[in-house]
Structure formats: structure tokens, C-alpha cells
Amino acid sequence: MKNTPNFSSNALVVLKKRYFKKNAKGEIIEDPVQLLLRVAKCVSAVEERYGASKEAVKEIEEAFFEMMANLEFMPNSPTLMNAGRDLGQLSACFVVPIHDSMDSIFDAIKATALIHKTGGGTGFSFSRLRPKNSIVNSTGGVASGPVSFMKVFDAATQAVKQGGTRRGANMGILRVDHPDILEFIKCKKEEGKISNFNISVAITNDFMEKLSNDEEYNLIDPHNKEVKGKLNAKEVFELLAASSWENGEPGIIFIDKINQDNPVIHLGEIESTNPCGEQPLLAYESCNLGSINLTKMVKEVDGKFEINWDELAKIAGLATRFLDNVIDANKFPLPQIETNTLKTRKIGLGIMGWATMLGFLGIPYESEEALNLIRKVMKFIYENARETSVLLAKERGIFPAWAKSVWDEKGIKIRNATLTTIAPTGSISIIAGPGSTGIEPFYSLVYFRNVLDGEKLLEVEPSFEYLAKKRGFYSQDLLKRIAQGESIQNMQEVPEDVKTVFKTALEIKPVTHVKMQSVTQEFTDNAVSKTINLANTASVKDIKEAFIYAYELGCKGITVYRDGSRMVQVLTVDKKKDNTENNDIPLKQSVVTQPKPRPELIMGTTTKITTGCGNLYITLNHDEQGEFFEVFTQMGKAGGCAASQLEAIGRLISLALRGGVDVKVIIEQLKSIRCPSPNWMNGKKIFSCADAIARVLEKRAMDQKNLAELKVSKHQDALVQVRGSVESNKFETLNNIIGVCPECGSALRHQEGCIICAACGYSKC
């Protein structure tokens, strides 16, 4: 009898939706044990290639299964989804090269579509593309520039949607010395633009030196290497920080630091990372990731928790073998990816549940003790992973590009060019249930989970729940107050020492976030995914200081997120009353947008669409300026359930339109929502009534010549926060909430470069 994994009810919801095997009718045909057994069988079967007996293979299969069933380790999502199935693509991270030719650009788009279809994420450097308006000798025309082509990649990603299991995710990178760098920094200023990309600027050591000396630096045309102008480093840095203050992007990667630590630099320089920035890769490389659940690496001895170092050593070694096997079990989406991946055999073993481990140990996240412990834990994991990789090299051979690598210089014959990575662990954290994700602090201590029939259940951070019960201040009233947004720092019944240990992300100093990332990086030979969380009141100056501090401490990149900055609107501020500069003093105004009043006369169109539930009539009205104003829907008899739901959708769309929300954002939220009764119309599949409404909006939007100007505002003096309806929802914590999940309606949070729903596992990077 196999050990039954102790998945939470929420983990089971996520597994059923995205991971369990389904038949042609979409019916689930496996349970948790069968899922993990499918993965363990597929990955352990590799052992036979290297001469292992059937008995030995069976032992490894059992060990892999138990490691996952005990929730001690989880591989990246594509491995859980695809191992032992026809698709067989098991990697999470890919980098696709883009050279300065139309052939290369569209080859990259094709490669991206194939990768996204299999559940992988892609990173690109657009730095080789000639700048906008450069002369193209072959045609006599002018170049479109990197940002223009990013939009093409973005559209392709939107179309693929990763086969319905994981949404397409991209990283777009441009060097700071590219002539189009200013356009790139501002390319996501308007929310909804290039929405399938995270973007980062590749910062060089030369730029940072020029910044410290307040000097100009050269802009280099990548096509002919000629100097095309100069920019003041300080001014570019100000723009970069201001943009990150506004909406969290761009992030930064320190490209010279990355290549300084590139173990196979003789194969070429690294130009890009995967979507969340934790995996720098060469062109056409992929990487397999997996994380150890640190909450399973503590044990209680005489009423006190301590780290179980023996178990941690065992899991680190076994997980390393697992990830190396994944490389051989993989069915790569492109032959060149297989070739380059096998050259270096990179793996990325990481951790999740770090803050929860600290909670059980009673160590504050902000303390020096925590920094010293993460260094010790990562060193221990790294050394055990390296020991296993060396043993695997003796059994199976060194990675083919070992000669002239850093490992060759050290005289260490090893199986894998890289060993450790700190990934975001958004989805697998829900599955394994460690409490906290990656090395992040707590985002909240208590929150509501949506379950069947609209019921909400409290879910509590496990280490806090344990301590609250042990110390005698646990109560349902306490949990509800926390879930509704009240901080324990203001609760008299919570002891002071507990308050110190259980600070949440926005209650921790930004400098601590950077320190934690930098110390973790010391024994992480790839990179660390970490969000530097800032309060909404943080200034541009705070962000500049975080960027510089990350560079000085040896981080390979940095992403900041100012709470609420993804829900901002341009408003007018009377500058006569404001004698301060934005980069020193944060804007503190908080307003609530009011929908535009409805005029007496309004014009529109009505479209009939046949859905799986019947004929749906959609009326879209616009105001005198031609801007979309309201939506009405009608289907069947009034008063029915479907009719009431459609009326609610129409009202909410109308409210959004009248409140100034870009119609493209509304379309993106509604499009491709699926119901049990899809239908075909005019050769196109209508997935649901919501999808039908989106298609009408999209069609009418395409008919509008000035669609691109719909969201242009005349008021560009200041940015202030506008909180959406989630802000007033007493059933959700307010910490780091940026919107509503399009799949389950729960709160979305910005986390490590992604938008995450903790309730159902939805994510978008």
C-alpha cells in the first residue's frame, strides 16, 4: 500500500484543475497516489540506462515517491503535469536567442509557441536587435526596434495560453546601453500593455561606475557596434526607479555579475533569464527546478523545534539525483534545446517554506540569526547536492562541456554545471503546503480559502497556529481579525516576542529583504527569485537605494514591488500646493474613482451570438466621444440563474468602462473563460457566455480607429493609488492584494514577478 500524500483540500483543488491526468472527455482519471507514482516511475526509469538492476530501479522509484508523498520535495510544475504522459516535456525554464534578422525573430516566435504549449516559460534578450528607425540595408526601410517585436511575441503568447494548463510567461531583457533603452523602460507604463512579459534592464558594471560618478555613458548600436549617442547614467537610473515605483517594472539584472559566475563561460555569455529571473541560461538551454520543503525539515525535541539535518542531507542528495534523471527523461520541444541542455546538464535545487521554518524555530526574519541560518542551510544543501553530483559523475560521466569550465579549473569532476536555484514556488507551495513560499516572508498569517459552494474556510500559517495554541492566545475571533486585515502588531493579546517573529512582508524593512536575497545567493550558483516588498508610502528614493544596495551586496538581480502600485491612476495634483519632489516624498493621496454619469441619449449595437446555453444578445453602447460606455446582455427568461449572472457581468463591465478601465484589460479577463457547454460559431469556438462578451468587445474595439488612445489621460502630474473592490472586502487580508482572480474571484497578490492566487493556484508571470 502506497503512502497516501497528505494534500490539503486547496492542494487537491489545484491538482484536479491543472495536474491530474484526464481522458478525452476531460474527466479526471487519476488520484494523488497515481499522479506521484506516474512521476516517480517516469523519472526513476532513467536509472536502467546507466546499468541499474530492476530491483535497484524499484528502490529509487519508491524513494522518489515517498519524498514527494511526504511533501518533502516537489519538482517544477511541468514535471508533475507531463512526466509519464505523451507530451513528456519536464522543464520549467528556457532561453531562446533572438538575432538581428527577420528569420531569427520569427524562428524564436515559433520556438516560443512550442515551448509554451508544453508548459514552459521563456526568456529573451532583445539586445541584439538594431534600434528603432535604423536603416535596413536589404530593403531600404527602417527597423521597428526591440519594443515593437516584443509586442509580436506578446500576442503569440496570448494566443497559445500554454495548452490550458499554464499561462504563457516571458522575460524580456534589454541592455542598458541599447539605444532604445528609454522606450523599453517605459513600455509597460500603461497597465495591460505587453501583459505576458516581465521586463528587466541588463545593468553593466560600467553603467554602475558611471552612475556613481554622475557621468554619461555610451549607447551602442548592436548591429554595427557604433556609438549612437550618450545618456546621463543618473537620469536613466532615475527613470528606471520611477517606473519601478509606478508599477514594479522593469526589474534589474546585473548582467556582468551573472557572467562572472557563469560556470561555462567558454560556451558563451549569458544574456537572459527565465520569466522570474532565478535561472540565467545560455541560448537554447533549459533547466529543471525542484524545491525542498523546509517545514518538513524541522523536528520537535522536548517541546522545542530544531532542524533535522540528517533528513535535510538525505532529501538534498535524493532530489539532486531526481533532477539529474529528469534531464534524461525529458522530451525536449526543440532539438537544439536538447543539445544545449545535455551539454551542461544544469539543475536548480531550491527551498520553500523558509519563513515557516523560522516561525517554528522562533527566529525573527529580520534578525542576524535568520541571515546566518539561511547561509548555513543553503551551504548545507549545496554541499550535499555537489557530493551527489560528483557521485553521479562517477556513475554516469561528467557533463560534456566540463572541460574549460569553472569545475575543470577547480579539478572537480561533476555531473551538473549548476546545482542550486531559488524559485518562486507559487504553485508547488500550494501543493506541498509549506506555508510560506521560496525565501519570502509571510504575506499574511491568516486568509480565507474558497471551497465548494462559495464556502470560505480560514487557512492559518502553520507555525503561527502552532505557537498561538501553545501560548494560549489562539481563537477564531483572532484569526478572523487577521484575515480581515488587522496586524498582530496592534493586538494586545499577542505577546511581544511573537509579534517580532511573525512580521509580514510589508512590516519588514526593505534592507532586510535585500540582505536575505544576497546571503541566500552566496550558495546559490544560479540566481534567487525574491521580491523586495515596499509599503505604498515608499518613495522613488527608497527604490534607488534598494537597487544600489542589491548591486553592492552581490545580488544577480532585483525586483521591487510597492504595495498597491499595480492599481494606480493618473490624477491632477495642484503643484502650487506641493513644493516637494516626488523622488523624496511619496504621494499619499488616496482617491476612489467615480463612474461617469449616464447621458440621456446613448448609441450602440446589438450582436447575436449562439452559445452552448442558447442565443445571447449583447448590446454595447458608446458615449458621444465614441468611448465604450456600457454593456447589456439578454438570454432566455428574465429571473433565471443564467440571466441573473449575465446581468451581473454586464453591470460590472459597464461600471469598469465608466470608471475608465481599458477595454483591452476587460477583454483579457473574460476571454477564454470556459464552461461545460462550448459552441462553434462562424468557425470559432465560443467557450462560454463570458467569452462571447469578450469577443464582441474585441470585435467592436478593432473597429474603432482610435482604440489605442482610449486610455490616454490628460492628467499626468502625479500618480496615486486607487484600490479596487478587493480593498473593501472584509473576507481578504489587504496585504499585497492587487486585484481579483479571474478564475475563482479570490485576491490576487504580486509575488516574485508573478500574479498569484493562493486560493486556486492561478498564476500569471
Long-range CB pairs of 676-681, under 8 A, 24+ apart, other chains included: 676/612, 677/611, 677/612, 677/613, 678/612, 679/610, 679/611, 679/612, 681/609, 681/610
pLDDT of the residue at 583: 39
pLDDT average, residue stretch 35-45: 98
Query: Can you state the angle between helices 540-552 and 233-247, rounded to 10 degrees?
Result: 110
Banded model confidence at residue 556, pLDDT cuts 50, 70, 90: very high
At 675, phi and psi to the nearest 5?
-130, 170
Q: Among 294-298, 435-439, 461-465, 568-572, where is mean pLDDT lowest?
A: 568-572
The predicted structure's pLDDT at residue 530 = 95
pLDDT for position 578 = 37
From 47, 61, 249, 278, active-site residue? 278
Check whether 449 has a pLDDT greater than 60: yes
Please give the average per-residue pLDDT across 299-315, as a whole number: 96
Average pLDDT, the chain: 86
The predicted pLDDT at position 337 comes to 97
**Grid cell at residue 636:** 432566455
**Mind listing the pLDDT tens digit for each residue in 50-80?**
999 999 999 999 999 999 999 999 999 999 9
Three-state secondary structure of 288-318:
EEEEEEHHHHEEEECCEEEECHHHHHHHHHH
1 to each of 37, 140, 606, how far by Cα in Å?
12, 71, 60
Lowest mean pLDDT among 383-387, 431-435, 457-461, 488-492: 457-461
Q: Is residue 191 flagged as an active site residue?
A: no
Higher-pLDDT residue of 638, 427: 427
Q: Identify the active-site residue in 276, 741, 760, 765.
A: 276
Highest mean pLDDT pick, 405-419, 434-448, 609-623, 743-757:
405-419
Q: Considering only residues 580 and 257, tell me which one the structure prediction assigns the higher pLDDT.
A: 257
- Compute the distance between CA of residue 548 and CA of residue 539 in angstroms, rounded to an integer: 15
Q: What is the pLDDT of residues 563-620, one digit of tens each?
A: 888 753 222 223 333 333 333 333 333 334 557 777 766 778 888 888 877 788 899 8
Place of cell 492559518: 460
Q: Are 524 and 698 in contact (CB under 8 A)?
A: no
Contact (Cβ atoms closer than 8 angstroms) between residue 390 and residue 413: yes
In angstroms, rounded to a whole number, what is the distance separating the alpha carbons of residues 613 and 411?
68
Is the distance from CB of 194 to CB of 187 less than 8 angstroms?
yes
Residue 702 clears pLDDT 90, i.e. is over it: no
* Structure confidence by residue, pLDDT tens digits, 261-283: 999 999 999 999 999 999 999 99
Residue with cell 484600490: 723
Q: What 3 state SS string does 466-525 have?
A: HHHHHHCCCCHHHHHHHHCCCCHHHCCCCCHHHHHHCCEHHHCCHHHHHHHHHHHHCCCC
Asked if the model's pLDDT at residue 206 lies above 90, the reply is yes
Residues 6+ apart with CB under 8 A from 678: 612, 685, 686, 687, 688
Choose among 284, 419, 425: nearest CA to 345: 419
Q: Residue 242: what pLDDT?
A: 95
3-state secondary structure of 373: helix
Cβ neighbours of 561 (radius 10 Å):
25
| pLDDT of 714 | 33
In the chain, where the domains are located: 93-273, 603-709
Of 36-50, 70-84, 177-191, 728-742, give the lowest mean pLDDT range: 728-742
Is the CATH number of domain 93-273 3.20.70.20?
yes
The pLDDT score that the predictor gives to residue 329 is 98
Q: Which helix (H) or strand (E) element contains residue 350?
A: strand 347-352
Average confidence (pLDDT) over 651-675: 85
Residue type, 400: P
Mode of pairing for the β-strands spanning 763-764 and 684-686? unpaired
Alpha-carbon dihedral of residues 227, 230, 231, 232, nearest 10 degrees? Answer: 130
* Lowest mean pLDDT segment, chosen from 17-21, 332-336, 507-511, 635-639: 635-639
Mean pLDDT throughout 159-164? 62
**CA-to-CA separations, 752 to 255, 439, 504, 557, 576, in angstroms, rounded:** 19, 10, 15, 12, 39
Select from 278, 550, 558, 321 the least CA-distant residue to 425.
Answer: 278
Annotated catalytic residue 274: yes
pLDDT at 35 over 90: yes
Q: Provide the pLDDT confidence category of residue 746 given band limits of 50, 70 and 90.
A: low
Q: Quick one: average pLDDT of 700-706?
A: 66
**pLDDT over threshold 70, residue 118:** yes
- Higher-pLDDT residue of 451, 532: 532
Q: Are 414 and 387 in contact (CB under 8 A)?
A: no
Q: What is the DSSP letter of 545?
A: H
The pLDDT assigned to 354 comes to: 98
Annotated catalytic residue within 170, 274, 293, 526:
274
Q: How confident is the model at residue 761 (pLDDT cuts 50, 70, 90)?
A: low
Question: Could you tell me which residue, 91 or 752, shows the higher pLDDT?
Answer: 91
Joined grid coordinates for residue 298: 524541522
Which H/E stretch holds residue 410?
A: helix 406-410
pTM score of the predicted model: 0.79
Least reliable range by pLDDT among 229-238, 495-504, 688-697: 688-697
Q: Let me know if 161 is exposed, middle or buried by CB neighbors in 10 A (0-12, 13-18, 19+).
A: middle
For the cut 50, the answer to whether the pLDDT of residue 509 exceeds it is yes
Distance of CA 622 to the CA centre of its chain: 36
Q: Are strands 614-622 and 684-686 parallel, antiparallel or unpaired?
A: unpaired
Clarify whether 579 is annotated catalytic: no
Residue tagged 555610451 (cell numbers): 218
pLDDT surpasses 60 at 243: yes
Q: What is the pLDDT of residue 614?
A: 79
